[in-house]
Amino acid sequence: MLSRDRIRTLGFHAPERLTVGVAARLSRYLQVLTQTKKMGRDAISSQEIAEFTHVNATQIRRDLSGFGKFGKRGVGYNVEALIGEIRKILRAAGQHNIALFGAGPLGQAIARSDLFADHGFNIVALFEVDPAKVGTRVGDTEVLPFADLAGAVRDRNIIVGVIAVPDRAAQEVADRLVDAGVRIIFNYSGALISVPQDVTVHTSSPAVELLYALYFYLA
């Protein structure tokens, strides 16, 4: 078995589970690196990452050095290599399939954006209850009837459900996802979703983020 020091020498992450804080910061670093790559850049410094994430550059170097030697003094980090390493650390390497619920304005915006594709997540199914929208296409994705949920989860190896439906419909969608075996739900609605303990729900609310930002700006 490889020792922790040997794992670091090889550049791989140790198998221990990350703390919430480290996982959150690494995700933010990955977002910056992904956009940096799209801009055509090959390298980035910890100070530049700090400017976009508002995480102290020393903390960034400390976070990354815990998993290997990725940067060079005076040069910075290789963007492509660091993206790959952070994805390994976050256990997000490879491609993962997503089901999106809601073909309204928000759902269509999500389906057409690179929001998930940039990080290896593919929207392979888009569901809607409105018969007028079923059978149409949003980008490259066909809109499917909500009744096909369970079969699509099974046949398309869907591991994440993204909810972009009105608040009143969110719980039903979550219930159906749980019944189909999905254990990760990303909730764009304003509803409070109740799920079993083995299911993870992340709710994204621009209003909450704004309140958080205003608190520190006005303090």
3-class secondary structure per residue, 104-173: CHHHHHHHHCCCCHHHCEEEEEEEECCCCCCCCEECCEEEEEHHHHHHHHHHCCEEEEEECCCHHHHHHH
Residue 127: pLDDT above 70? yes
55 and 113 fall within a common domain: no
Asked whether residue 152 falls in the same domain as residue 100, the answer is yes
Residue 216 in any domain: the answer is no
Domain that holds residue 16: 4-89
Task: Please indicate, yes or no, whether residues 62 and 124 belong to a single structural domain of this protein.
Answer: no
- Strand (E) positions, 157-204? 158-163, 184-187, 200-203
Encode pLDDT of 76-94 as tens digits.
Answer: 999 999 999 998 888 877 7
Residues 111 and 80 both lie in one domain: no
Boundary residue ending a domain (38, 54, 89): 89
Residues across the chain:
219
140 in a structural domain: yes
Q: Are residues 113 and 200 in the same domain?
A: yes
Same domain? For 82 and 128 the reply is no
State the pTM of this model.
Answer: 0.75
Find the helix or strand (DSSP H, E) in which 178 lies: helix 167-180
**Which DSSP category does 189 fall into?**
S
Is 70 in the same domain as 122?
Answer: no
Q: Is the pLDDT of residue 14 over 70?
A: no
- Choosing from 63, 89, 115, the residue where a domain stops is 89
Question: For residue 207, is it left (φ>0), alpha (ψ between -120 and 50) or beta?
Answer: alpha
Please tell me the least confidently modeled range out of 12-21, 28-37, 58-67, 71-80: 12-21
Residue 9 domain flag: yes
Name, in order, each residue with C-beta under 8 angstroms of 211's C-beta and a sequence gap of 6 or more: none
Answer yes or no: do 169 and 67 share one domain.
Answer: no
Residue 217 lies in a domain: no
Q: How many domains does the chain have?
A: 2
Residues 9 and 112 in one domain: no
